[in-house]
Amino acid sequence: MMFDLSGMTALVTGASGGLGSEIAKALAGQGARLAVSGSNSGKLAAFCDDLGGDHVALPCNLFDGAAVDALVPQAVVALGGKLDILVNNAGVTRDNLLMRMKDEEFDEVIAINLKAAFRLMRAAAWPMMKARFGRIISVTSVVGQTGNPGQANYVASKAGLEGMTKAVAQELASRGITANCVAPGFMTSAMTEQLNEVQKAAILARIPTGAMGSGEDIGAAVAYLASREAGYITGQTLHVNGGMAMP
């Protein structure tokens, strides 16, 4: 089987959310053993139970710096002493127009989407360097390349994550560790289901394939980048957007 992750371990943040749960399912489906993390401990435990298998739930509030720094060591212990794959998927939005955006709205998005990802990468680099193998994958967004009105904070966090990934990729490449991003476009979600037909039609008109993507599309992309077969790909952003943007 190509992209077989049997014997590999992974930590996935934001795992009980829409995209995160599909990423976790994809990795588990390819044979990886997971530590799934999220801020809602009840929802996370229920998801972990549904996932079946020998996976572990590790609740974490990514606003809490000490909790973030403890997460990777906890995962390494829970997963039997190694961490092969880190997926930075957790993210928040605090949308507002530039002139109305409060400092707190900017700071909160940067704290979760960028700074927490940095701290997790830093922590994960140690066990990965020791093993001389690792896969660091961060979920960004098409808007990190295109921009989006009302999301200066979110766009800055995602563009920053792409740039940071390139730096990390260069630092860790000689140790067998790759660092890449997956950038979703418009995906079907609870949020997009609330859109009316006119709004949906306007979005679909911008997508050459004529359809929104699904969580399974993102899970498949992450599973590929996590695989041994993707070892010669690093510092890249894999755009999964139906052709909506072609950077």
d(C-alpha 243, C-alpha 47), whole Å? 32
Counting the structural domains of the chain, the total is: 1
Q: What is the DSSP letter of 3?
A: T
pLDDT of residue 194: 79
Residue 36 maps to a domain: yes
Residue 141 maps to a domain: yes
Strand (E) or helix (H) holding 238: strand 237-240
Read off the pLDDT band of 52 (50, 70, 90): confident
Residue 190, pLDDT above cutoff 80: no
pLDDT of residue 183: 97
Please enumerate in sequence order all residues whose Cβ is within 8 A of that of 221, keeping only pairs 6 or more positions apart, or say none. 182, 238, 240
Residue 2 maps to a domain: no
pLDDT of residue 189: 78
Structure tokens, 8: 């590999």
Residue 245 maps to a domain: no
Query: What does the pLDDT average to over 182-192?
Result: 85
- At 131, which CATH number? 3.40.50.720
Structure tokens, 33: 């053993």
pLDDT of residue 233: 98
- Of 33-37, 76-80, 193-197, 225-229, the one with minimum mean pLDDT is 193-197
154 part of the active site: yes
Residue 4 maps to a domain: no
Residue 191 maps to a domain: yes
Query: What does the pLDDT average to over 152-175?
Result: 98
What's the distance, Cα to Cα, between the start and end of the chain in Å? 32
The three-class DSSP label of residue 17 is: coil
> pLDDT per residue over 101-123, tens digit each?
999 999 999 999 999 999 999 99
Place of tokens 């092969």: 84
Query: What does the pLDDT average to over 85-89?
Result: 98
Residue 95 maps to a domain: yes
What range does the domain containing 135 cover?
A: 9-239
- 40, 13 in Cβ contact below 8 A? no
> pLDDT per residue over 117-157, tens digit each?
999 999 999 999 999 999 999 999 999 999 999 999 999 99
pLDDT exceeding 90 applies to what percent of the chain?
A: 90
From 154, 178, 215, 218, active-site residue: 154
Please enumerate in sequence order all residues whose Cβ is within 8 A of that of 112, keeping only pairs 6 or more positions apart, or say none. 62, 63, 90, 91, 92, 157
The amino acid at 156:
A
pLDDT of residue 191: 66
Residue 48 maps to a domain: yes
pLDDT of residue 164: 98
- The C-alpha torsion from 211 through 214 and 219 to 220, rounded to 10°, is -40
Q: For the chain, give percent helix, strand, coil, nearest 5.
A: 50, 15, 35
Structure tokens, 77: 């212990």
